[in-house]
């Protein structure tokens, strides 16, 4: 554990990277939004000029990284870190939110809840993935255990799940949403509907769905995977509330997902998640520099692409061992006496 003096020094060092850079932000907007729009125009052309749908779909797959990058910009705007200006963050947050089917104000609030509770066993359920402890799972009735297993199945989690989230759940506001959050959902939904009406009146609603749906589902699957491995990985740390603190949750409960450079670019540096959870005010375009210049950030063991694949089998938190375990391991774990 770090001493209070070390923590203060660490925060002081990290604060240097929290300054938004308008030049970098504008450049990232240009190299994310503009290619997305250009690829969209190309897909409309191929869809309306009689080209094979496989050509249109192939372009859609190549468009997915730009969708993911727009979501990272949206994410930073929600943290107020992308631009210095609150108005600029809100404008681009709403714009990116409409393009990525995510309501700005509503998601901003739920995501703030995720940051305040990540890795806290007593405050699960706020913008996170349902993770039961071994004892909780064993106490569930059979039908809820079956549902939990279905929920944690990779084909559901990363296949069906993104479509339910992107097309269904994000069209609704979260329980307890205030007026501002509810309005953001309505504005986003109305904007998406307006785009669909414009498509219907120009190149056709069928072409719009054929273009947009694969991008949303593929990019949604990438997003869910990234969110999953950022906190559900071999070595992740979950504790009860009396042991929880932000530094521990960041450095021990959030992964440094070390990706190849081209994948890191596509995902907007979000793999440096331990830094992000420690200082959410650092914009994504400063995360790599922060890592390179801060030795403490380099002390976190990287989660490699190959090792991250094991995460799909880690489904329950075993409080006795202090680690995630699979359903297969559950059979060998002792049952607590009641």
Handedness of CA 90, 94, 95, 97 (dihedral sign): positive
Neighbours of 161 (CB within 10 A): 20
State the pLDDT confidence band at 9, using cuts at 50, 70 and 90: confident
Beta bridge partners of 241: none
In a domain? residue 243: yes
State the pLDDT confidence band at 338, using cuts at 50, 70 and 90: very low
Q: What is the reported pLDDT for 139?
A: 95
Q: What is the reported pLDDT for 336?
A: 67
Output the CA–CA distances (angstroms, integers) from residue 207 to 4, 58, 303, in the order listed.
58, 15, 40
In a domain? residue 335: no
Range of the domain at 193: 4-330
Rounded-to-integer distance, Cα 73 and Cα 96, Å = 7
In a domain? residue 338: no
State the pLDDT confidence band at 1, using cuts at 50, 70 and 90: low
Rounded-to-integer distance, Cα 321 and Cα 237, Å = 11
Q: What would the mean pLDDT of 3-17 be, rounded to a whole number?
A: 87
Neighbours of 175 (CB within 10 A): 6
Task: Identify the helix (H) or strand (E) that includes residue 317.
Answer: strand 316-318
pLDDT of 69 > 60? The answer is yes
Q: What would the mean pLDDT of 60-68 be, rounded to a whole number?
A: 97
Q: What is the reported pLDDT for 178?
A: 95
Q: What would the mean pLDDT of 276-289 be, rounded to a whole number?
A: 97
In a domain? residue 169: yes
The pTM of this model reads 0.94
pLDDT of 3 > 80? The answer is no
**In this prediction, what percent of the chain has a pLDDT beyond 70?**
99
pLDDT of 333 > 90? The answer is no
Residue 64: which residues within 8 A CB-CB, separation 6 or more? 215, 218, 219, 222
In a domain? residue 336: no
Q: Which residues of 222-254 are buried (b: 16+ CB within 10 A; e: fewer)?
A: bbbbbbbbbbbbeebbbbeeeebebeebbbebb
pLDDT in tens, 104-143: 999 999 999 999 999 999 998 878 899 999 999 999 999 9
How many separate domains does the chain show? 1
Classified as helix, coil or strand, 219 is: helix
When mean pLDDT is compared across 6-10, 132-136, 148-152, 243-247, the lowest value belongs to 6-10
Rounded-to-integer distance, Cα 120 and Cα 125, Å = 10
Q: What is the reported pLDDT for 60?
A: 96
In a domain? residue 337: no
How high does pLDDT run on average in the chain?
A: 94
DSSP string, 148-174: HHHHHSHHIIIIIHHHIIIIIGGGSPP
């Amino acid at each position: 554990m770090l001493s209070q003096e070390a923590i203060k020094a660490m925060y002081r060092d990290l604060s240097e990277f929290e300054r938004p850079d308008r030049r970098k932000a504008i450049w990232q907007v240009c190299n994310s939004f503009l290619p997305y729009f250009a690829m969209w125009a190309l897909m409309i052309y191929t869809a309306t000029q009689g080209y094979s749908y496989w050509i249109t779909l192939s372009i859609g797959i190549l468009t997915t990284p730009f969708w993911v990058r727009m979501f990272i910009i949206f994410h930073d705007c929600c943290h107020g870190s992308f631009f210095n200006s609150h108005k600029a963050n809100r404008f681009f947050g709403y714009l990116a939110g409409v393009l990525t089917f995510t309501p700005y104000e509503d998601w901003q609030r739920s995501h703030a809840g995720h940051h305040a509770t990540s890795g806290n066993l007593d405050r699960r359920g706020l913008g996170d993935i349902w993770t039961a402890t071994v004892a909780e799972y064993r106490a569930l009735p059979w039908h809820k255990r079956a549902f939990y297993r279905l929920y944690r199945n990779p084909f559901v989690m990363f296949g069906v799940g993104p479509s339910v989230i992107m097309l269904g759940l994000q069209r609704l506001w979260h329980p307890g949403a205030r007026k501002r959050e509810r309005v953001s959902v309505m504005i986003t939904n109305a904007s998406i509907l307006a785009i669909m009406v414009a498509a219907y009146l120009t190149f056709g609603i069928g072409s719009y769905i054929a273009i947009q749906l694969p991008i949303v589902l593929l990019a949604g699957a990438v997003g869910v995977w990234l969110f999953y491995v950022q906190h559900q990985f071999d070595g992740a740390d979950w504790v009860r509330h009396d042991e929880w603190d932000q530094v521990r949750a960041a450095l021990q409960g959030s992964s440094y997902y070390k990706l190849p450079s081209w994948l890191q670019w596509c995902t907007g540096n979000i793999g440096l998640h331990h830094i992000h959870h420690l200082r959410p005010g650092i914009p994504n375009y400063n995360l790599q520099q922060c890592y390179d210049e801060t030795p403490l950030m380099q002390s976190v063991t990287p989660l490699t692409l190959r090792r991250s694949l094991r995460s799909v089998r880690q489904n329950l938190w075993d409080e006795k061992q202090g680690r995630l375990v699979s359903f297969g391991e559950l059979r060998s774990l002792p049952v607590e006496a009641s």
